Structure formats: C-alpha cells, structure tokens
Amino acid sequence: MLLGIDVGGTHTDAVIIDRGGIAATAKVETDHSNLITSLDMVLEKILSSGPDQPISKINLSTTLTTNAIVGKELEEVGVLAVSGPGLATDCFNHNLGEHFHLLEGSIDHRGNLRLALNDVAAREVVAGCQRKQLKVFAVVSKFSPRNPEIEQTLAELVSTQSDFTTIGHRISGRLNFPRRLATAYYNTAVWRRYNAFADAVSLSIKKYKLNAPLNILKADGGTINFKNSRNNPIQTILSGPAASVMGIIALSSITEDAIILDIGGTTTDIAIFANGAPLLEKEGVSFGGRATSVRAIGTHSIGIGGDSAITINSDGKIMIGPQRMGPPMALSGPQPTLIDACNVKRLCNLGNFAKSFSGLKELAEQNQLTTEQLADEALDTALKTIQFEALKLLDTINQRPVYTVEEIVHGKQIIPQQLYVMGGPAVILAPLLGQSFDLATEVPDNYAVANAIGAALTRTTMEIELFADTGKKTLLIPNLGIKRKINSSYSLNKAQDDGVSEIVKYLKENNHPEIKNEDVSVVEAESFNMVDDYSVGSKTIRVSCQIRPGLEKDYLEGIK
C-alpha cells in the first residue's frame, strides 16, 4: 500500500492506495506556523481509519521551501561567483542576498581555464565571510558544467567554516550561469530550515511506526529520496501543483494532447499535455523573482476562480478577479462572485440563491444592466479569459525555438484533443468551457484529493547532462559529479549508453532498485565534429537523459 501526503497551502491531504483503489483519505487544515503538526494530524487521522496492511512507500509533498522563499525566511548565504567576461554583473547579481562576491577567474565554452581563480582575493573574501559569521555558502562559476575546477577550489576554500555548501554544477549540468547561481543560492538559503523540518518528519514517521521508504515530491511531478532531498531542498519547491497534475493523470486516462484546467477559489492553473505527458518548463521554473534551473511541470496561473469578485470598472467593462473579496454572496460573502453569476444562471444551486440574485441585481442596476445581462457577461468574460490564456500558452509552446531544419519543417505541433477540468467549480463550468474550446471535456472523479493521489502514485525522476570531448578525452556528468577519461574513439552511441547506465547506477545506490534501463529516455543526443585546419579532428558529444514523471502502474487500475 502506498501513502501519499500533500501539505498544501490550505489543506493537508493524505490518501492510502492499495491495488483495489483508494483505501482511505484524510483532510486537515494546514497550520502554516507548524507544518509538522499538520503532518501529525493527517497521519493520525488516516492511519486510524485506514486498513491494517503495511505501508510500502510514503511520498510527501510539502510547501515548506516554497513558503520559506516566498516569505523570505532565508538564511544569509556567502555567494561566491566567478563569471569571467560576458554579461555585466548587474544582470545576474540581484535577489541573491547581502553577501554576493564576484571573484576573478574565467572558463570558456569549451571548458578551458582561461584565467585562474584569483586565490589571494578569494581567501580574503572567505575570511570576510567568516568575520560576518556566515555558515552556509553557494559557489558558482560560469561554464562549470564544462569544467568544475574553479567551483571545486572554492568549495574547498570554504569547507572548514561551512555547514553546507551548494556547488553550482551539482545543481544542474545545463548551461545557464544566472539560473545556476540563483538556484544554488536558494538551495543554500533554505537548507537549514528544510533539514530541521526533515528531522521532525523523521520523528513523526518513527512515532507512527512507519518504516517504508520515504520520498519527497519535486516540482517536475517526480520524487527524490528523503536522504538526498536534505542536500537538494530547492528541488521540493512547487511540488503541490505538480502533485495535482500527476493526480489528474491517475484519475483519467490521458493519452493524447490535452489542456488541463484546475479551477480553484482564486485562480485557474493551466497545464498542457503532449501525448498524455505533462510538459516541463523549458529550462526551469521562475520563482521568487529569479529564473531557476529547477525542472518543473509548466503551469500557468491566472487570477480567475469560483470566488473571483465581479466588478465593473469606470469604462463600464465587466471584470472577473483577480481579487477574491471572500466567499460568494450565496454563502454570505461581501461581493458578487463568479459562482453567484452561475447561481443566477441556474447552472448551480449553491447556498442562498436570493443573496446571489440580489447581489448581482444591485451591481447591474448601478450600471444600467439587467441582472441576467450581468450574469451572462460575467460568465462570458471568465470563459473567454480562461480560453484566451490557455491558447496563448499553447501557442508559446508550439512556437518554442528548435534548432534543426528537420524539426522546423516536420516538427510536432501540439493539438489538444481533450479538455480536463478539475477543482471546486469544475462540474459547473466544464460544459461551458467545453463549448468555448470546442473540445470533448472530462471532469475526473475524486479530484478533491487529486493532489494526494498524485503524490502517492508518482515515481522518482532524474535528469543528467553528459558532455564528452574526444579531443580532451574527458567525459563529464556534472550533477552526478562524474569526470573521467575516455578514449578518442568514444562515440555518440556509447555516450547514450553511458548516460542511461549512470542514471540507473546512481538510483540503485540511492534506494531505487526498481529503476531499469528502459525507464530512462534519451532526450537529446548530438555529436559535432570539431574541425581544426580543415580536417575533422575530435568530437564534442552532448547527451541529455531523463526519467520522465510517471505513475506506479500496478496501482493505476484500481484508481480508475
């Protein structure tokens, strides 16, 4: 049996799933001042009601790091950056705390050291950090995925005084210095808080005599094992929305291109699926004012939900949201909302119809409209905005740059065949949305605990970048810390095999014996000749492999 827990913004949900389907669910309110209490309460509730069989796996999604970054509850970090020539410093040094230091040194795009780290200056900066009693560090150099030596030297320099250091190339093997920098900074800044939470989670798990493997959810809809999450807390941001998306996959049988709308009280989250799989942000998610290299399911959030207030601006234009003034008037709220308009239109029958009607009537009369007109237009505005934003997102995805003639001319375009709507107002709005999108529409059952179901069923994910240079005879897999010699005949095929087997090997060593070669897909594989003096010399080989977000297949049948 699998246990999934989502410590979300409003509620903490838990679900136990066995091969027959959902065996138990529990919901408590989230106490933001003490997330562990919420976890304990939900465990108490679900374990007392659930079946007796043992739990074989626990997956936990938490808002801890998300909240820490949004609430700026961040530890002071000594940030040591080496950029070399290129972009001006003010393009990348913002939102990195008070202790950003730029050091001299440079590595080029081929990974050649062009200017050694200024050792004397570096030692001075490190000493300065000590005087300021900084205990945690982020060290990042430009082109470290091509050559990690400067970062390694810096990590060594701070090692005696550091409780924890994030090293840029271990965060991501992809090229993007500003993202690596921001991600390394956040990872360090939330490290202590996350680990305190993790300690408390360990105690809770022990208290409830759960000794199944524990995994933590990530923003890409996959998991990371509990122990590894302690050094990679940044991977756990935004895992809640990702869990919901994975839940939708579990609850419906998405195999085609599709649009997913999660309509809540204040917002609607839009996600796009290609061939039944959620699309990830191209380079990583933007968060806390910075673009990061954290892989995440691409969701676009707009300020329209069931409780969005209906207002009319000075030009007489009817607006929905983005504010939520409170619950609908039908439930004694202060201002007419989208749900009140649905009540007036008899699309639903929530709370007190008379209150909905009089609320809309008052606003309509102030603006020389009939109540019916206002309800119609409010609803129409909401539907049109959701549709406009969803199609805009789709267009952005379809217009993504590609780099070969083949992809430009014959590349796949995403053409949605199906619309999935979930969330509180889903049942009410789904038929109307289906009409405006002109798509077959489905509202999955059990969407209220889709997040916890997604959490319970999701599997581990992983991504690596492999970079080989047959001229230098080196192979690098930055985020696994692998650097080794290759011979000059090393080939693209060999690189693909190595990429796959290194992921499997790493995961086997990290509590995932179930992962097999077939679970890993090669996303990109390129080999280019490096021509010197008009003869083909060596090759530069780039391979990117990943385990895509996926669900425990053995348990899916029961859920549906």
Partner 1 sequence: MKNTKHLGVIFFPAYDWAISPTHPEREERLLYTQDQLREEGVFDLPNITEYKPEIATYADIERIHFCFPSPQEVSTESHLVAAGGAIKAARLVMEKEVDRAFALVRPPGHHAMKVVHGNRGFCNINNEAILIEFIREHYGNKKIAIVDTDCHHGDGTQDIYWHDPNTLFISLHQDGRTLYPGTGFSEELGGPTARGRTINIPLPPNTSDEGFLYVIDNLVQPIIDDFKPDLIINSAGQDNHYGDPLTNMNFSAQGYARLNEKLNPNIAVLEGGYSIQGALPYVNLGIVLAMAGLDYSQVREPDYNFKNLRQSPQITEYIEKLCTLTMKNYLKPPPLKVKPNQYDTRYKTVYYDTDGINDQQFEQIMVCTNCSGVRHLTSKTHRNSSCMGIEIPIDACKRCRDEGYRLLDEGRRNFKGTTIKFINRLDQEYLTVNEFELTPISRYYF
Residues that bind partner 1 (CB under 8 A): 83, 85-92, 106, 108-110, 112, 114-115, 142-143, 174-179, 283, 291, 399-406, 408-409, 526, 528-531, 534-536, 540
The region, left, alpha or beta by phi > 0 then psi within -120 to 50, assigned to residue 551 is beta
Count Cβ atoms within 10 A of the Cβ of residue 170 and give its class: 0-12 exposed, 13-18 middle, 19 or more buried. Answer: buried
In the complex, the smallest distance separating the C-beta of residue 315 from partner 1, rounded to whole angstroms, is 24
Q: Tell me whether residue 399 or residue 489 sits nearer to partner 1 (CB atom).
A: 399
Distant-in-sequence, close-in-space partners of 17: CB < 8 Å, separation ≥ 6: 1, 2, 4, 23, 453, 456, 457, 555, 558, 559
C-alpha torsion sign, points 465, 469, 475, 476 = negative
In the complex, the smallest distance separating the C-beta of residue 271 from partner 1, rounded to whole angstroms, is 22
Beta-bridge mates of residue 7: 12, 62
Q: Tell me whether residue 169 or residue 324 sits nearer to partner 1 (CB atom).
A: 169
Q: Tell me whether residue 316 or residue 401 sits nearer to partner 1 (CB atom).
A: 401
Q: Tell me whether residue 128 or residue 411 sits nearer to partner 1 (CB atom).
A: 411
In the complex, the smallest distance separating the C-beta of residue 242 from partner 1, rounded to whole angstroms, is 22
In the complex, the smallest distance separating the C-beta of residue 115 from partner 1, rounded to whole angstroms, is 8
Q: Tell me whether residue 152 or residue 176 sits nearer to partner 1 (CB atom).
A: 176
Round to whole Å and give the CA distance between 386 and 384. Answer: 6
Structure tokens at 92: 């990348």
In the complex, the smallest distance separating the C-beta of residue 291 from partner 1, rounded to whole angstroms, is 5
Round to whole Å and give the CA distance between 415 and 104. Answer: 49
In the complex, the smallest distance separating the C-beta of residue 454 from partner 1, rounded to whole angstroms, is 29
Q: Tell me whether residue 150 or residue 374 sits nearer to partner 1 (CB atom).
A: 150
Q: Tell me whether residue 90 or residue 509 sits nearer to partner 1 (CB atom).
A: 90
Can you give the three-state secondary structure of 132-158, one letter per residue?
Answer: CCCCEEEEEECCCCCCCHHHHHHHHHH
In the complex, the smallest distance separating the C-beta of residue 267 from partner 1, rounded to whole angstroms, is 23
Q: Tell me whether residue 169 or residue 355 sits nearer to partner 1 (CB atom).
A: 169
**Distance between the two ends of the chain, CA-based, in angstroms?**
16
Helices (H), 321-468: 338-344, 353-366, 371-398, 405-410, 426-437, 450-457
In the complex, the smallest distance separating the C-beta of residue 142 from partner 1, rounded to whole angstroms, is 6
Round to whole Å and give the CA distance between 261 and 422. Answer: 6
Q: Tell me whether residue 315 or residue 534 sits nearer to partner 1 (CB atom).
A: 534
Closest CA to 448 of 20, 22, 3: 22
Round to whole Å and give the CA distance between 180 and 92. Answer: 10
In the complex, the smallest distance separating the C-beta of residue 40 from partner 1, rounded to whole angstroms, is 41
The CA distances from residue 155 to 117, 143, 189, 280, 492, in Å, are 13, 16, 16, 31, 32
Q: Tell me whether residue 70 or residue 408 sits nearer to partner 1 (CB atom).
A: 408
In the complex, the smallest distance separating the C-beta of residue 96 from partner 1, rounded to whole angstroms, is 14
Q: Tell me whether residue 67 or residue 176 sits nearer to partner 1 (CB atom).
A: 176
| Three-class DSSP category at 415 | coil
Q: Tell me whether residue 42 or residue 175 sits nearer to partner 1 (CB atom).
A: 175
In the complex, the smallest distance separating the C-beta of residue 80 from partner 1, rounded to whole angstroms, is 18
The count of other CB atoms within 10 Å of the CB of residue 548 is: 18
Count Cβ atoms within 10 A of the Cβ of residue 520 and give its class: 0-12 exposed, 13-18 middle, 19 or more buried. Answer: buried
In the complex, the smallest distance separating the C-beta of residue 220 from partner 1, rounded to whole angstroms, is 19
Closest CA to 301 of 329, 266, 349: 266
The DSSP code sequence of 357-394 is HHHHHHHHHHTT--HHHHHHHHHHHHHHHHHHHHHHHH
- Find tokens 């954290």 and name the residue: 294
